């Protein structure tokens, strides 16, 4: 959550827009290609059909946390390739949510379920845009009078969007990224990044040690 929050803070919405179409088309091609190859290879190796399907799904998606951390530590997030890779990862997260929605009710797969999942994502983004435009400037103008209050306010927004994303059945990675984007244009964004970054480093270390 802290990792994706800071990524959102450091990458403006305009930069995401510039690579949006490339990321969407490229991510779809990448996911479909890897899924098809992995699925048929699994069948060839003797896996039952359902297990082959699961293997194909697993191979088609990347770990957002790991790739973003690698891009961040190598200072490549701000590059064109880094922004495209980030777009790939976010697109994968959205597709994973849609896929899990369908798999949770395999007997009732319908366009309604897919549309409902997409609408929830758009609502989450809309909340971020509205708050960023009409609420956050006033709130953070007051919070900026105290460094401690600025720090706590930014964490509150992070946790708020993380909880909202869980409520909408999306991953906290997407909610945290939207939280970062919603604060990215504030005049205090540099101060917020400086205060949150040590926490990100601390929890990222725990995450990767636990992963290992």
DSSP code string of 18-44: HTHHHHHHHHHHHHHHHHHHHHHHHHH
Q: Which residue has the tokens 């994303």?
A: 165
pLDDT tens digits along 170-202: 878 888 888 988 998 888 888 998 888 898 888
CA distance 85 to 71: 9
Q: How many helices (H) and strands (E) does the chain have?
A: 11, 0
pLDDT at 136: 93
pLDDT at 56: 92
pLDDT at 13: 64
pTM above 0.85, yes or no: no
Nearest to 87 by CA among 13, 192, 187: 13
Higher-pLDDT residue of 106, 58: 58
pLDDT at 106: 52
Share of the chain above pLDDT 70, in %: 90
End-to-end CA distance of the chain: 19
pLDDT tens digits along 61-104: 888 778 888 888 888 877 888 888 888 888 887 787 777 766 65
CA distance 189 to 5: 12
pLDDT tens digits along 37-53: 999 999 999 999 989 98
In angstroms, how far apart are the furthest CA atoms of the chain? 65
């Amino acid at each position: 959550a802290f990792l994706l929050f800071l990524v959102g803070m450091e990458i403006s919405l305009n930069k995401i827009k510039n690579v949006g179409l490339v990321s969407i088309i490229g991510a779809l091609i990448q996911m479909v290609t890897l899924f098809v190859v992995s699925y048929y290879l699994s069948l060839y190796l003797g896996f039952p059909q359902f297990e082959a399907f699961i293997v194909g799904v697993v191979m088609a998606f990347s770990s957002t946390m790991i790739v973003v951390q690698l891009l961040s530590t190598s200072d490549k997030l701000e590059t064109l390739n880094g922004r495209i890779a980030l777009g790939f990862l976010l697109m994968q997260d959205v597709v994973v949510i849609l896929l899990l929605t369908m798999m949770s009710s395999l007997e009732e797969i319908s366009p309604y379920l897919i549309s409902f999942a997409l609408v929830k994502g758009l609502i989450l983004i809309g909340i971020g845009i509205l708050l960023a435009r009409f609420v956050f400037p006033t709130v953070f103008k007051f919070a900026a009078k105290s460094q401690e209050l600025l720090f706590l306010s930014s964490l509150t927004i992070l946790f708020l969007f993380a909880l909202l994303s869980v409520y909408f059945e999306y991953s906290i990675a997407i909610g945290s990224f939207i939280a970062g984007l919603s604060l990215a244009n504030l005049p205090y964004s540099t101060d917020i990044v400086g205060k949150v970054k040590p926490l990100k480093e601390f929890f990222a270390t725990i995450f990767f040690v636990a992963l290992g």
